[in-house]
Amino acid sequence: MLTQEQNDTLCHIGPGTPMGNVMRRYWVPALLSWELAEPDCPPVTIKLLGEELVAFRQTDGHVGVVGARCAHRRAHLFWGRNEENGIRCVYHGWKFDCEGACVDMPSEPEESNFKDKVRILAYPTYEVGGVIWAYMGPPEKKPPAPLFDWAMMPAPNRAMSKVWQQCNWLQAFEGGVDSVHVNFLHGGRPPGQRYDESDARGRANNRSTAIQSEVMPTDYGFVYAAIRDLGDEGDHVRVYHWVMPWTQIRNLGDSPTISGHMWVPMDDENTMVYNWSTVPPGERAERAVRSGMGGRAMAEVDTDGNRPLWFRDAQMKVGAGNEFAVDVDAFNNFRSINNMDNQYSIDRAVQKTQTYTGIPGTNTQDRAVQESMGAIADRTLERLGTTDRQIINARRAFLKAIKTVEDGGDPPGVSDSYYRLRPTTGLVPKGGSWYEVLKAGLFRPEEEDELLVKTAT
Ligand code: FES
Ligand SMILES: [Fe+2]
């Protein structure tokens, strides 16, 4: 439970808000690289941390993220002409470069120097891992580039999708670090049905659906363990990472696939959820990787930076029961196809006989429950249990980070200490320390470094 004031503090992320100031200390995922597929392509409108922005890839390939409105009389730059290393407003022709400088003002007399005094808002960008990131904070506090382990994978080894979620970022994020919901919302069976005994998690669920969760604070956020009792076999332990403020790094089942999410606030009541999956270098790129939204074989990713083939293909196959279906409409600003207007396509017969929810798709199940909490969940009314430990710890960490930033310090996760993080899963003997047993798997081994993408920082 939070007080109303605490809830407001954590949920409001616009310019000048305490949480907004914390978030502006990190590189913010702004859009997918393929949304700006080539130089001088059409610009894209984005909303980040409550700010309306326009992104464009200029002639030399560099991406600009600028304030959405022209400095002259506020026309939207989405209509703009993206040409010769700048975006030109179509109302009276004023042109701005990636840094926000007005570089041409053809509506004023040639001898005028007025353009030298005019700027629009512009944020630095960085492109890696198929994502264009923006830095929206104080220039002198810009952190090192966001070189997450997954972002450094060669393109054929990674997949990325994103979807618009219609609720505040915090309840979406809290759903991600809430380990126990998986036993119900996603993997649950109708009462009386047993779980698959060939799978460790299934065997554990047949003993008890209540897991034990433990959290270990780190300088980037925390590492957390979901512990399932397997009796004489020991404990089945999944160890994941949370990197401040919105990144989760986790395993996908017991496969070598590593995946996770980034819950990026568009504004106080809307979130863009990025879903990534990777297979480590050395694994065959053809190995099928699912993004949690039904992503397809990595080999089908178009490495030229265009829209991934599996995604384009899946768009045409949207429909219940299609394992490759993607519940997002990339042609409608990444809105979810199954959404609150169609009750997320819930099938009550399936809910009675096959799955816990009757709602198709893992991420759709998340959206259904998280959006149902209201645009901003009222945390003054909640009742937290023992498995909400990660959520309680994360809230404390956010409140502490707010204080740190207000006092002029650096919040967790702005150094490069998260670069090598990987999730891991294993069996831990009864009474053993999961951290000691599994810690070797929590970081990328050095021998893999040479297989990664080379990026200038
Ligand atoms: S409003 Fe953009 S040039 Fe006039
Ligand atoms: Fe979930």
Give per-residue pLDDT as tens, 229-255: 999 999 999 999 999 999 999 987 667
Six-digit token pair at 308? 């991934």
pLDDT of residue 406: 98
Q: What is the β-pairing status of strands 270-278 and 63-67?
A: unpaired
Cα 37 from chain centroid (whole Å)? 20
pLDDT digits (tens, 9 = 90+) for 128-174: 998 999 999 999 999 999 999 999 988 777 777 888 999 999 999 99
Ligand 1 atom at minimum distance from 93 CA: 3
Q: In which band, very low, low, confident or very high, does the pLDDT at 308 lie, cut at 50, 70 and 90?
A: low
In this structure, how many other beta carbons lie within 10 angstroms of the beta carbon of residue 302? 16
DSSP class of residue 142 equals P
Is 91 touching ligand 1 by the criterion CB < 6 Å? yes
- Separation CA 13–CA 402 (nearest Å): 12
In this structure, how many other beta carbons lie within 10 angstroms of the beta carbon of residue 143? 16
Q: In which band, very low, low, confident or very high, does the pLDDT at 326 lie, cut at 50, 70 and 90?
A: low
The strand pairing partners of 329, in sequence order, are 335
Residues within 5 Å of ion ligand 2 by Cβ? Answer: 366
CA-based nearest residue to 97, from 77, 122, 80: 122
- Separation CA 421–CA 248 (nearest Å): 10
Is 142 touching ligand 1 by the criterion CB < 6 Å? no
Is 75 touching ligand 1 by the criterion CB < 6 Å? yes
Q: Is the pLDDT of residue 98 over 80?
A: yes
The strand pairing partners of 277, in sequence order, are 159, 259
Cα 168 from chain centroid (whole Å)? 14
pLDDT digits (tens, 9 = 90+) for 433-448: 999 999 999 999 998 8
Q: Is the pLDDT of residue 179 over 90?
A: no
pLDDT of residue 293: 35
Is 92 touching ligand 1 by the criterion CB < 6 Å? yes
Residue at token pair 């989760």: 248
Q: How far apart are the first and last CA of the chain?
A: 41
Q: Is CATH 2.102.10.10 the right assignment for the domain spanning 27-141?
A: yes
More confident residue, 205 or 283: 205
Residue 369 CA to ligand 1 center (angstroms) comes to 44
The secondary structure element, H or E, covering residue 206 is helix 200-207
pLDDT digits (tens, 9 = 90+) for 47-86: 999 999 999 999 999 999 999 999 999 999 999 999 999 9
Cα separation values, 274 from 130, 237, 271, 435, 444, Å = 11, 25, 10, 28, 22
The secondary structure element, H or E, covering residue 309 is helix 309-315
Residue 65 CA to ligand 1 center (angstroms) comes to 18
Measured by CA distance, the residue closest to atom 1 of ligand 1 is 73
